[in-house]
Chain A
Amino acid sequence: MSKSMTLFDKIWDGHTVKSIENGPSVMYIDRHYIHEVTSPVAFLGLEKRGLNVANPQKTTATPDHNIPTQDQHLTIQDALSKNQVDKLMKNCKNHNIPLYGLNHKWQGIVHVIGPELGLTQPGMTIVCGDSHTSTHGAFGCVAFGIGTSEVEMVLGTQCIMQPKPKKMRIKIDGVLSKGVTAKDIALYIISQISTSGGTGHFIEYAGSAIEGLTMEGRMTLCNMSIESGARGGLIAPDQTTFEYLKNREFSPKDQKWEYAMAKWALLKTDEDASFHKEYLFHAKDIEPMITFGTNPGMGTGVTGHIPLAASLVENERVTYEKSLQYMGFSDGDKLQGKSIDYVFIGSCTNGRIEDLREFAHFIKGKKKAENITAWIVPGSKQVEVQAQEEGLLAILEAAGFELRQPGCSACLAMNDDKIPAGKYAVSTSNRNFEGRQGPGARTLLASPLVAAACAISGKITDPREYLN
């Protein structure tokens, strides 16, 4: 009898070129995504060694991290950003790597365009010099972020060396309550297991609440796996996955599609396979979430209070108090009703069409609060076009919002989209670290729905007040 295996084992072991005794595995990489920020030094390394890119067609490039989200047809004003984007174009040209540049109809955040184009497919190993590569796990992939040295390895050899992570399964059973989305599941899990709870592990998400998620919701959840410290997170592919992928630009077609579907349908964890760690949560316990501190684990239901510092041990208390001080909050504070200044909709976590749809449907017929500056940034050119075609743009404009152009934008504020020091931003992105959205910026992570409610009322608000 063959040994029971997890889905992760099947993909990992199936891509192991060589195992070094007591050492890392040599892993073959099916798909490599690159962007302007973490690739230039890797290309420089290749050149120094006199190497070519081993498989240019297995790498796809797009600029996203530092680009402006307005007037993209003009020259990039920031000289350093322009230099990085130019370098990416030059490197891709020299090495024959497919690139979707600033004015290409497929440009966008690397983790939005990969799935959207059907480049991300079940069973693949996928890497990118970006920690949110975990997003692609939604398709039943072993996908994870790597450093620049590893980008160089993949370019040069199509392989990297990785110690095999341990396996964790997180099951969420039941039905999500009204107003609760995939983002809330992600923030809830991290608030429960902490930002280091997943470290050393690869997560498989399972259970009826996960099966009920759309592909876009699954991407949001897998995207945030890294915020629990995990190497990545995946979900077994099913009919929802196949329907999403069918007829995408790079999805297999005709007979190849039938063959691929048959192969993908086998990508499941065997019934009696074991995990190093398992968690079970219940969908009914999850509320719309919001964070109050400076790491994604510092979150609570939007109707909640900031936990008391006194309940923590000393080491943790010092860090906790530093965090609340940065945020300008006190422990015990009620979050609802606190005034905010900015709302950011976008990023590889929540910049897909479904996110914009959810936001637009919520604000339809309402008005943006006067104290709010809102940046709504589509995850890709295709999302931008679709938002126009579906009439979302008209809804946004009627409510006093504008749609910007695709890019990572205020998620990490490498471009001009910086939240000013001391200001509060309810953000649909993935990290609330100090200064993440600009020096001194104060970030509160939430779902597009919570962000919409906050944008309308100008303060922290439970979206369910409007839904009932």
Chain B
Amino acid sequence: MPIEKFIKIQSSAVPVKIENVDTDQIIPARFLKAVERKGFGDNLFRDWRYDKSNNPISGFPLNEIKYSGQILIGGKNFGSGSSREHAAWALYDYGFKVVVSSFFADIFKGNALNNGLLPVQVTSDELSEIFEAIDTDTQATFSIDLVQQTFTIDPSDKVIDFEINPYKKECLLQGYDDIDYLLSLKNEIAVFESRE
């Protein structure tokens, strides 16, 4: 199905200052039993957000009223482990449109892009600056412009350029998905198959 278009956003951000956030933390396996794509946001970071009795765990950034916004800032190596696309679905369903880290796991990055969730990779120094901006003002905003491929730390006006594959950029800007494109290659795929 077509994905939601992404052009630019300005928002405050939620900092999760933990490295190697694996997809089992983003959405634990016991919540993968649905046969439809809905409601995964409720269980985003389930075991970091809620204790055994389903009470919110204080101190976890998603439970802190002072943090909000459509941007999640994560530590290095975000999204490692399982290929579950439910991780991207859970983040998106919760309301995040952008995930920022100094390093993303490959499968997670692909899954995010296929669902209109923009992964923005920055350097580790830039990541520290972003965390510092939030430490200084929890409601500090950031502006992401996909056309320009820029991530701006608004309080300091610092502009960070980020990379994105030109094909994927176009998909996000236009709201296209890969299947639409693959279906348009029907003849080329048939020719390839006949060569086998």
Residue numbers of A with Cβ under 8 A of B are: 17-18, 20, 22-24, 26, 28, 37-38, 40-41, 44-45, 48-49, 51, 65-66, 78, 80-81, 83-84, 87, 129-131, 145-150, 152-153, 156-163, 165, 195-196, 199-200, 226-227, 229, 231, 295, 315-316, 318-319, 322, 412-414, 421, 431, 433-436, 439-440
B102 vs chain A, min Cβ distance (A) = 9
A145: nearest chain-B partner, CB-CB: B83
Known: A149-B115, A160-B182. 8 other contacts (CB 8 A): A38-B85, A44-B36, A131-B82, A147-B111, A150-B110, A153-B179, A158-B193, A199-B105
Among B34, B81, B86, the most chain A Cβ lie within 10 Å of the Cβ of B81
The A/B interface has a contact count, at CB < 8 Å, of 191
- B83 pairs with A131, CB closer than 8 A: yes
Residue numbers of B with Cβ under 8 A of A are: 1, 17-20, 22, 24-25, 28-30, 32-37, 47, 52, 75-77, 80-86, 88, 103-107, 110-111, 114-115, 124, 165-168, 177-179, 181-183, 185-186, 188-189, 192-193
A78 vs chain B, min Cβ distance (A) = 8
Q: Given A28-B192, A49-B179, A157-B189, check contact A80 B111 (CB 8 Å).
A: no
Among B24, B33, B114, the most chain A Cβ lie within 10 Å of the Cβ of B33
- A149 pairs with B85, CB closer than 8 A: yes
From the candidates A37, A84, A435, name the one contacting B24 in the complex (CB within 8 A): A435
- A45 pairs with B1, CB closer than 8 A: yes
B182: nearest chain-A partner, CB-CB: A157
- A44 pairs with B35, CB closer than 8 A: yes
Q: List 16 A-B contacts (CB under 8 A).
A: A20-B167, A26-B189, A28-B193, A41-B36, A44-B35, A49-B1, A51-B183, A81-B33, A84-B33, A145-B83, A153-B179, A163-B165, A199-B106, A226-B81, A315-B75, A434-B24
B18 contacts which chain A residues (CB < 8 A)?
Answer: 318-319, 322
- B185 pairs with A229, CB closer than 8 A: no
A196 contacts which chain B residues (CB < 8 A)?
Answer: 20, 76-77, 80, 103, 105
From the candidates B37, B181, B189, name the one contacting A28 in the complex (CB within 8 A): B189
A316 and B20 alpha carbons, distance in the complex (Å):
10
Q: Given A17-B189, A145-B107, A439-B52, check contact A431 B47 (CB 8 Å).
A: no
- B83 pairs with A38, CB closer than 8 A: yes
B165 contacts which chain A residues (CB < 8 A)?
Answer: 22-24, 163
A158 contacts which chain B residues (CB < 8 A)?
Answer: 189, 193
A18: nearest chain-B partner, CB-CB: B188
Q: Given A157-B179, A229-B77, check contact A199 B83 (CB 8 Å).
A: no
- A433 pairs with B33, CB closer than 8 A: no
A41: nearest chain-B partner, CB-CB: B37
A150 contacts which chain B residues (CB < 8 A)?
Answer: 110, 114, 178
Among B18, B37, B82, B183, the most chain A Cβ lie within 10 Å of the Cβ of B82
A433 contacts which chain B residues (CB < 8 A)?
Answer: 22, 24-25, 81
B17 contacts which chain A residues (CB < 8 A)?
Answer: 315, 318
B20 vs chain A, min Cβ distance (A) = 5
- B35 pairs with A414, CB closer than 8 A: no
A237 vs chain B, min Cβ distance (A) = 19
B14 vs chain A, min Cβ distance (A) = 17
Q: Given A17-B189, A439-B52, check contact A157 B110 (CB 8 Å).
A: no
- B75 pairs with A149, CB closer than 8 A: no
Q: Given A22-B167, A149-B178, check contact A229 B30 (CB 8 Å).
A: no
Q: Given A131-B82, A439-B47, check contact A152 B179 (CB 8 Å).
A: yes
From the candidates A23, A147, A231, name the one contacting B166 in the complex (CB within 8 A): A23
A216 and B181 alpha carbons, distance in the complex (Å):
39
A184 and B84 alpha carbons, distance in the complex (Å):
26
Q: Given A22-B165, A83-B33, A318-B17, check contact A156 B76 (CB 8 Å).
A: no
A231 contacts which chain B residues (CB < 8 A)?
Answer: 106-107
- A319 pairs with B20, CB closer than 8 A: yes
Q: Given A84-B35, A434-B25, check contact A295 B80 (CB 8 Å).
A: yes
A410 vs chain B, min Cβ distance (A) = 11
Q: Given A84-B35, A150-B114, check contact A439 B83 (CB 8 Å).
A: no
- B85 pairs with A17, CB closer than 8 A: no
A309 vs chain B, min Cβ distance (A) = 14
A359 vs chain B, min Cβ distance (A) = 25
- B33 pairs with A80, CB closer than 8 A: yes
B136 vs chain A, min Cβ distance (A) = 18
